[in-house]
């Protein structure tokens, strides 16, 4: 599973992670795309995407070995 797919899956199925992302970072589902999930520079969402994936793994929405 690609990184964008993983982020979208977690945001789709976890209210708590989606609310954290929208409330703390003002970043929404549609804001993520193939480029910015891997962008760690200013304006990119790489760090937030990584945190979403980590939280998704912790909530058993994803497994580490299913990520590319």
The domain ranges of the chain are: 3-66
Alpha carbon separation from 53 to 9, 28, 57 (Å, rounded): 9, 15, 6
Query: Residue 16: what are its φ and ψ, rounded to 5°?
Result: -65, -40
* pLDDT digit string (tens) for the chain, length 68 residues: 899 999 999 999 999 999 999 999 999 999 999 999 999 998 899 999 999 999 999 999 999 888 88
Q: What is the pTM of this model?
A: 0.93
Decide: 52 and 66 in contact? Cβ < 8 Å: no
């Amino acid at each position: 599973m690609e990184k964008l797919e993983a982020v979208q899956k977690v945001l789709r199925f976890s209210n708590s992670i989606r609310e954290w992302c929208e409330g703390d970072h003002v970043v929404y589902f549609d804001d993520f795309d193939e480029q910015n999930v891997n962008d760690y520079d200013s304006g990119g969402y790489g760090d937030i995407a990584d945190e979403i994936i980590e939280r998704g793994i912790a909530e058993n929405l994803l497994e580490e070995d299913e990520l590319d």
